[in-house]
Each structure stands twice: as structure tokens, then as C-alpha cells.
Amino acid sequence: MINLSYRFHQDSSSLELSGLPDVSNGDSEDTIGILSSWTLKIIGSPLLEGEKEHLDNLMQVILDYSRSYISGIRKSFTSNKNIVTISPSGTSHKLLLNSTKKGVKPLEIILDDSELSDVIRCFDHLRIDPRFSIRWAINQERPFTKKYIRNNFVNSKKKTNFFYAFIIFLFTSVLLIYAPTNNRFELRENTNTSQSLLDQIQ
């Protein structure tokens, strides 16, 4: 049986999946029903690969995070077994991947908005592609309730305000440290004042 391979490509990302038709499910010759491998290439980052479980976790976390981010909520999302975590990092997004193998250090990837958007597009194309008859372990997307958005948006806004306030404080402190002082002017002014007092006494 021929091993099939399909690729989804965006400007900064490329998702490639390989597998075989699931004959027991009646898949056609050009349909992948059994996933054998997958790779995700992001420009400037290490190659990501793993089993179906890892791809399920990666898609779930990134899709949940993106929905939250679009709604104005900046918060972290973690998959089952803590395999994948994505969280805000300034104006970027930090993706933390923990290996299921012992002795392997976690992998950290920083994505900007365009890179995150490209990864999401790859996942969206995969999920609707008729060439795949795989059931992805992803929760059904449901709209956020107004209460959920309101509560999380307030918390997110507080954290953001604190972050920017801290940046402004540091910037102001640096300006005060390096700002030149006009000591010569003050010395002259004091000297002139002293001279005027002497003239009055005389």
C-alpha cells in the first residue's frame, strides 16, 4: 500500500502529514485514515514532530488560545498532561512543548502575530480537508459567554496595565538617571545672589 503525504503551506509555516488509507473504514486510495507521522516547520524554529496525540494537543491549545486572543482575552492555555502550553509574552506568544520522553528539556518557541496566524491557517485547512478521515481529539468550538469574556477581559486588562506601567516606570527612571544637570547655572545664580547681599550690607 502506498504511503500518502500531504502538505499545508503558509508564508512562515509548513505542516506535512503522512499516512495510509484505513481500509476497514472504506477509505479511498487518496485518503489518509491512519496517521503515521507529521511535521510542523516554522521559520527560525526547530522542527516539530511527534505522534497523533501530540498534534491533537498542539491544535487544541493553539485554537483555544487564538479564539481567546481575538476576543481580547490574554491568558495561558495548557493541554492535557502539560504537553503543550501557550501564553502571552509581551506582544508575542510563547509556545512551550514538553516531551513525553524522559531527559528531554522543554522546547520554547516565540511566535509573533503573523507566525501564529500562519500556524492556525495550516490547522484550519487540515481540519476541513476531505483527504483526511481522521477524528481529531479536539473539543467542539463554542462561543464564549458574555460573563466569561467580561471576567477574563478584566483580569487580562489588569495584567496588561501593570506591564505597561512597569515599562513606563523603567523608561522614566532611565531618563532621570542620564538626564544632564545644569549645576553650572545654579552655581552662578548662587554667586550672583551672594554678591547682591554684600552690596546691600556695604
Report the alpha-carbon distance of residue 153 to residue 8 in Å, rounded: 33
- Tell me how far CA of residue 74 lies from CA of 32, 60, 79, 143, in angstroms: 36, 16, 17, 16
Burial code of 121-159, b = ≥16 C-beta within 10 A, e = fewer? bbbeebeeeeebbbeeeeeeeeeeeeeeeeebbeebeee
Assign 202 to helix, strand or coil. coil
Q: Is residue 110 part of a domain?
A: yes
Query: Do 133 and 161 sit in the same domain of this protein?
Result: no
Over residues 174-188, the mean pLDDT reads 53
Query: Do 19 and 57 sit in the same domain of this protein?
Result: yes
Which domain covers residue 66, as residue numbers? 4-144
Q: Listing from the earlier edge strand, what are the strands of the sheet with 107-111? A: 77-78, 84-89, 92-97, 107-111
Query: Do 167 and 138 sit in the same domain of this protein?
Result: no
**Which of 104, 121, 144 marks a domain boundary?**
144
Query: Do 114 and 69 sit in the same domain of this protein?
Result: yes
pLDDT over threshold 60, residue 79 = yes
Query: Do 129 and 45 sit in the same domain of this protein?
Result: yes
pLDDT digits (tens, 9 = 90+) for 59-73: 999 999 998 888 888
Query: Do 68 and 124 sit in the same domain of this protein?
Result: yes
Residue 178 is predicted with a pLDDT of 59
Q: Is residue 112 part of a domain?
A: yes
- Tell me how far CA of residue 128 lies from CA of 8, 64, 134, 161, in angstroms: 12, 17, 11, 39
- C-beta neighbour count of 65 within 10 angstroms: 24
Q: Is residue 149 part of a domain?
A: no
Sign of CA dihedral 137, 46, 117, 6: negative
Query: Do 105 and 140 sit in the same domain of this protein?
Result: yes
Residue 81 is predicted with a pLDDT of 86
Count CA atoms within 13 Å of residue 38 on its CB side. Answer: 20
103 — pLDDT class (breaks 50, 70, 90)? confident
Of 26-40, 76-90, 130-144, 146-160, the poorest mean pLDDT is in 146-160
Q: Is residue 79 part of a domain?
A: yes
Query: Do 58 and 95 sit in the same domain of this protein?
Result: yes
Query: Do 15 and 52 sit in the same domain of this protein?
Result: yes
Query: Do 90 and 15 sit in the same domain of this protein?
Result: yes
Over residues 189-196, the mean pLDDT reads 50
Residue type, 133: S
Query: Do 133 and 167 sit in the same domain of this protein?
Result: no
> Per-residue DSSP letters for 132-201?
B------PPP-PPPHHHHHHHHHHHHHHHHHHHHHHHHHHHHHHHHHS---HHHHHHHHHHHHHHHHHHH
Q: How many domains does the chain have?
A: 2
pLDDT digits (tens, 9 = 90+) for 1-56: 689 999 999 999 999 999 999 999 999 999 999 999 999 999 999 999 999 999 99
Query: Do 171 and 131 sit in the same domain of this protein?
Result: no
The CA-CA-CA angle for residues 168, 172, 176, to 5°, reads 175
Q: Is residue 137 part of a domain?
A: yes
- Specify the CATH number for the domain of residue 106: 2.30.31.10
Q: Is residue 18 part of a domain?
A: yes
